[in-house]
Amino acid sequence: MLTLPSFEWARPRTVEETLAALSDRPGETLVVAGGTDAVPNLKHRLHEPRLVVHIGGVRELQFVRDAEDGLHLGALVTLAELARHPVVRRDFPSLARAAGLVAGPQLRNMGTLGGNLCLDTRCTYYNQTYFWRSALGYCLKKDGAAAWRRTPRTSRRC
Amino acid sequence: MKRRGTPAIPADRMMPAEKRLIPPAWPGGRTAPPNREFRVIGKRNRKVEGLAKVTGRAIYADDIALPRMLHGKLLRSPHAHARIRSIDVSAARALPGVHAILTGRDLPEYFGIIPWTEDEQALCEEKARYVGDAVAAVAAESELIAEEALKRIRVEYETVPAITSIDEALEHPEIKVNEKAKEGNISKHVHLEFGDVEAELEKSDATIEAEYWYEGSTHAPIEPHCAIGDFDATGFLTLYSSTQVAHYLHRDLAKVLGLPTQRIRVIQPVVGGAFGGKSEPFSLEFCAAKLSMLTGRPVKILYTREEVFYAHRGRHPMRLRYRTGIKRDGTLTGVDAKIHIDGGAYSSFGLVTTYYSGQLLTAPYQMKAYRFDSTRVFTNKPCCGPKRGHGSVQPRFAFECQIDKLADAIGMDPIEVRRRNFLGEHTRTVNELRVTSNGFPQCLEAVERASDWKRKFRRMPYGHGVGVAGSMYISGTNYCIYPNEMPQSGVQLKLDRSGRATVFCGASDIGQGSDSVLAYIVAEELGLDIGDIRVVAADTDLTPVDLGSYSSRETFMVGNACLDAARKLRLMVAESLAERWGCRAEDVTLAGGVACSTRAPEKECMSVQSAFQLAEARHGTLGSVGWYQSPKLGGDYRGGTIGASPAYSFTAHVAEVECDPETGRVSVRKIWVAHDCGRALNPVAVEGQMEGSAYMGFAEAIFEEQLFKPEAPGHGAGLHHGPSLLDYRIPTSLDTPELESIIIESVDPEGPYGAKEAGEGPLHPSIPAIANAIYDALGVRCDRLPFDPPRVFRLLRSCDARAQWERARAHVHEAATGAQATAERSPSGTRAR
């Protein structure tokens, strides 16, 4: 099985505690909510943080509020909730549909809106194990000096 | 074939033919029910292990945790082809928590599933031959420490140019991938000719010559490989492994570890899928065992998903050239095949694969003359091997497309062409395979009717189409992997006063249901409830040898062995009752938990448990053994036994597709599968196999592709494109078409109750049926797999597809109008209402 690296683990309950935890070790901290992207990336050694801050228990961030000035969504709203929320479906049907199209049901149950918006790079040269990336000669995004592009002539992004 | 390594049995030590084991004949034959009608067989029963699996109680290899167990990890080569100059493990050894480290020198003995091509080492000693080839192994307190240790092992490599394609392998014999190859990079070459192919082709009214390409694919079982070695103080090794061939693993462990076979026990826990991917020994089994021998502690190695891709042994990439002819009346003439096979770095089953690529094509159609020339080459990629439908799925794809093209050329319905060339039953093929029962025409008819073929073929709007294909496959093979004259399958049966029966058998249930088959047969013969039977399987200490779960042999061979054992016990019980009641043993019925006589069932009647007690009192402790050995089969030529099977299964598919002519996207709507399995011992299990097979074929047709990266700055050629289930896409339930399974029962005279295989045959026609349906839909021929949008799109752009489509329709409609006119003249009164 792919292993997780060793790291310290913080479970703040409030936004205030979260901010304190994040400022504790700047540059060496990873935020995890649903973990659907961060955990595989940890297993792939794409991140090797000293501290992982799990914000899944911060209740202040779990809300869908329909207000005068528009719809307010907390960062911890899951994609599944977004896809089936009656107000989102009524007023923002394309958002509900997009959330419902991400991955499969299990991942939508765990994955959060905040995590989705802050998603790390997705690339066949990047989201691979440490061994595979070493056999590739690494990529610029992690451990390497050269950027890999899937379609060099048409794509300028990697 | 030239034999190396383990020699064949010398002629003077061979058993004389007349002394060869022949399975006993039972009154009424093997196909008859024990009491006039079947009570268990043919009923829609549960699989015996099903509940344990769905409730999470089944114990898989990785669920096993032994006290003081260490964890092992393998270091793998990042280069596709590299000499190993040196390995320095000192820094890794110094890491706290590391208990032992192995390199190639610790396990130098070569092994290989086929005794004549032993070319693998547990860990590479001199050279790594693909990205992911194992070079060292570590045992540590945890997986994390073992991984850390791997990073500290310093391997000095000297890279060698990598060979990554068939053509490179042939063009560069001087760059040798595998030093065990006798000539260049040739793993195996087979050339066989039956009849005068050129003369037959001369007689054709139309010939088609085309080249096909099958891109490799892998098995992707849910459960990764896992093994736990446990070497105890007495010098006894127990190895738990997720394998489908416990017996062969047992032999190779002894060879590589230098231990006597009687000091090794191999246990196969519940296996989470294999599909051929666990049918030979792997590095992890030897390393877990050896690390346990060095540390005196149990050692577990569990492959990651990535490592499963490197272990591979999946379907070979093949380039196939076919030249085939047909006469205007639909008769096939000659078939000429030239096949190149990309084997990867090692032999695996390659010798057999090379034969199978040609030998298994000769039914269900009659061929006047047939020639094939197959060459398997070594390349610097993970080793290919047997995947469900070993060696014959690729040629079947090509050949069934050839038939479709020939049918098109003479303007005949492709189902009709297949019907007209039917080989027949109880006959021999052009390459001297003995064919017994053959329900292929019924299969064709079933899919033709179920799919409403006549109303759809060449009659649907552009973008919609149907296609047909047929196939045959073996039910086990009489070619044993190592030469011996012992039974291919053995069963021990224990019965006691508790009313419970225990079946001991080396058979390997990998989900296909061999444990269930054993239980059904015993239940049927002894009148027991299925729940009263315990199956103990695939434990080399407890169970008699069965060769394992490959080449679709279990139902046929294990079933026959079990039938034998059960009938022997049944006779003992029936005789005891007959003596008590003063009737004949044939008049005793054991069914539904009750034993009675047929002449006075109300009076002469007792529970089967009481009957067993009576039998135990009369005969002593109750037990029996049964075994199976196939008759001597195969043609009298070199390689003539490879592909010879005691029975063949037959399949026909119709696939219906909906294609988008703008994007080239192909959606398979439905596949109708009709399969002749002889007799369905459990129709649900057979349907499960048929659906699973059709699904897997569909996946290879549309989705799967095992690709490797070309050379680039930073790395050499041969890196796997993406060894994960994110990059290597297999269809989910949402992608899967509707599947309709139709069981055809031809009742084979030699199968247990008439049964034949159902696990691999139904895969074969999936791919060509879809390819032929795409032609019906779009007018383009997909000769290269997979049929993904970029490929189909390019095909659509490369020709006037629409015009080809129109032409194909016009062709068949002309022919059909002629036929219809004839039909309309016949008297209408004969029509069924």
Q: Could you tell me the residue ranges of all domains in chain B?
A: 11-34+487-628, 64-160+222-273+278-311, 391-478+636-820
> For residue A86, which phi and psi values (nearest 5 degrees)?
-60, -40
- For residue B508, give the DSSP letter: -
Instruction: Please name which of B48, B57, B44 lies closest in space to residue B522, comparing C-alpha atoms.
Output: B48
In this predicted structure, what is the pLDDT of residue A141?
84
- Segment A119-127 long-range contacts (CB within 8 Å, at least 24 positions apart): A119/A37, A120/A37, A120/A38, A120/A41, A120/A46, A121/A158, A123/A148, A123/A150, A123/A158, A124/A150, A124/B721, A124/B722, A124/B727, A125/A150, A125/A158, A126/A46, A127/A40, A127/A41, A127/A44, A127/A46, A127/B726
A118 domain-assigned: no
Q: Which residues of chain A does B79 touch, with a Cβ-Cβ cutoff of 8 Å? A: 135
Tokens matching residue B345: 């770095």
Instruction: Please name which of B670, B698, B678 lies closest in space to residue B758, comparing C-alpha atoms.
Output: B678
Query: pLDDT for A54-97, tens place per residue?
Result: 999 999 999 999 999 999 999 999 999 999 999 999 999 999 99
Exposure string for B760-770, b = 16+ CB within 10 A, e = fewer = bbbbbbbbbbb
Task: Indicate the pTM of the whole model.
Answer: 0.94
Write out residues in chain B with pLDDT < 50, as ranges. 1-7, 821-833
Q: Cβ of A100 under 8 Å from any chain B Cβ?
A: no
Burial label for B798, CB within 10 Å (0-12, 13-18, 19+), is: exposed
What are B488's strand-pairing partners?
none
Q: Are residues A49 and A70 in the same domain?
A: no
What CATH class has B391-478+636-820?
Answer: alpha beta
Per-residue pLDDT at A20 exceeds 70: yes
In this predicted structure, what is the pLDDT of residue B36?
87
Query: pLDDT for B781-796, tens place per residue?
Result: 999 999 999 999 999 9
Q: Do A104 and B724 touch (CB under 8 A)?
A: no
Name which of B306, B715, B722 is nearest A137 (Cβ-Cβ).
Answer: B715
Helix (H) or strand (E) holding A53: strand A51-54
Q: Do B76 and A2 touch (CB under 8 A)?
A: no
User: Going edge to edge, which strands form the sheet with B206-214?
Assistant: B186-194, B369-377, B332-342, B318-326, B206-214
Give A61 to chain B, closest Cα distance, Å.
30
Helix (H) or strand (E) holding B607: strand B605-607
Instruction: Please name which of B217, B213, B242, B308 lies closest in space to residue B730, comparing C-alpha atoms.
Output: B217
**ipTM of the complex as predicted:** 0.92
Q: Cβ of A62 under 8 Å from any chain B Cβ?
A: no
Q: Do A132 and B720 touch (CB under 8 A)?
A: yes
A48 domain-assigned: yes
Whole-angstrom distance, CA of residue B817 vs CA of residue B687: 37
Q: Which residues of chain B does A131 touch, with a Cβ-Cβ cutoff of 8 Å? A: 76, 78, 306
Query: pLDDT for B523-544, tens place per residue?
Result: 999 999 999 999 999 999 999 9
Chain A residue whose CA is closest to B708: A136
Instruction: Please name which of B582, B555, B554, B586 lies closest in space to residue B570, comparing C-alpha atoms.
Output: B586
In this predicted structure, what is the pLDDT of residue B21?
77
Q: Are residues A2 and A54 in the same domain?
A: yes
In this predicted structure, what is the pLDDT of residue B818?
57
Q: Are residues A41 and A10 in the same domain?
A: yes
Give B224 to chain A, closest Cα distance, Å.
9
Instruction: Please name which of B262, B261, B269, B260 lies closest in space to residue B240, comparing C-alpha atoms.
Output: B269
Radius of gyration of chain B (CA): 28
Range of the domain at A45: 1-60
Whole-angstrom distance, CA of residue B473 vs CA of residue B365: 13
Query: pLDDT for B688-721, tens place per residue?
Result: 999 999 999 999 999 999 999 999 888 899 999 9
Half-sphere exposure of B175 (CA within 13 A, CB side): 22
Burial label for B517, CB within 10 Å (0-12, 13-18, 19+), is: buried
Q: Which residues of chain B does A127 touch, with a Cβ-Cβ cutoff of 8 Å? A: 726
Burial label for B234, CB within 10 Å (0-12, 13-18, 19+), is: exposed
Domains B11-34+487-628 and B391-478+636-820 share a fold: yes
Q: Do B143 and A1 touch (CB under 8 A)?
A: yes
Q: Do A146 and B714 touch (CB under 8 A)?
A: yes
Q: Are residues A47 and A69 in the same domain?
A: no
Q: Do B714 and A137 touch (CB under 8 A)?
A: yes
Locate tokens 């659907």: which residue?
A36
Give A43 to chain B, closest Cα distance, Å.
11
What are B671's strand-pairing partners?
B655, B739
Give B576 to chain A, closest Cα distance, Å.
56
In this predicted structure, what is the pLDDT of residue B98?
98
Q: Do A104 and B715 touch (CB under 8 A)?
A: no
Give B736 to chain A, closest Cα distance, Å.
15
Total domains in the fold of chain A: 3
Q: Are residues A47 and A13 in the same domain?
A: yes
Residue pair B217/B276 in contact (Cβ under 8 Å)? The answer is no
Name which of A1, A3, A136 is nearest B715 (Cβ-Cβ).
Answer: A136
CA B629 to mean position of chain CA atoms = 20
Q: Are residues A82 and A135 in the same domain?
A: no
Total beta-carbon pairs less than 8 A apart between chain A and chain B: 47
Residue pair B176/B730 in contact (Cβ under 8 Å)? The answer is no
Q: Are residues A54 and A70 in the same domain?
A: no
Interface test with B, best of A7, A101, A102, A132 (most B CBs within 10 A): A132
Name which of B78, B143, B306 is nearest A134 (Cβ-Cβ).
Answer: B78
Give A114 to chain B, closest Cα distance, Å.
22
Residue pair B753/B43 in contact (Cβ under 8 Å)? The answer is no
Collapsing DSSP states into helix, strand and coil, what is residue B817?
A: helix
Q: Topology of domain B11-34+487-628, per CATH? A: Aldehyde Oxidoreductase; domain 4 (3.30.365)
Name which of A132, A137, A138 is nearest B306 (Cβ-Cβ).
Answer: A132
What CATH class has B64-160+222-273+278-311?
Answer: alpha beta
Tokens matching residue B699: 């996946």
> Is the peptide bond between B786 and the residue preceding it cis, with omega within 30 degrees of 0?
yes
Whole-angstrom distance, CA of residue B354 vs CA of residue B362: 15
A115 domain-assigned: no
Q: Which of A60, A77, A96 is where one domain is finished?
A: A60
Locate tokens 């391997």: which residue?
B155
Q: Which residues of chain A does B724 touch, with a Cβ-Cβ cutoff of 8 Å? A: 128
Exposure string for B369-389, b = 16+ CB within 10 A, e = fewer = bbbbbbbbbbbbbbbbbbbbb
| Residues in Cβ contact with B113 at an 8 Å cutoff, skipping those fewer than 6 apart | B245, B248, B252, B279, B280, B281, B348, B349, B481
Give B659 to chain A, closest Cα distance, Å.
23
Q: Cβ of A158 under 8 Å from any chain B Cβ?
A: no
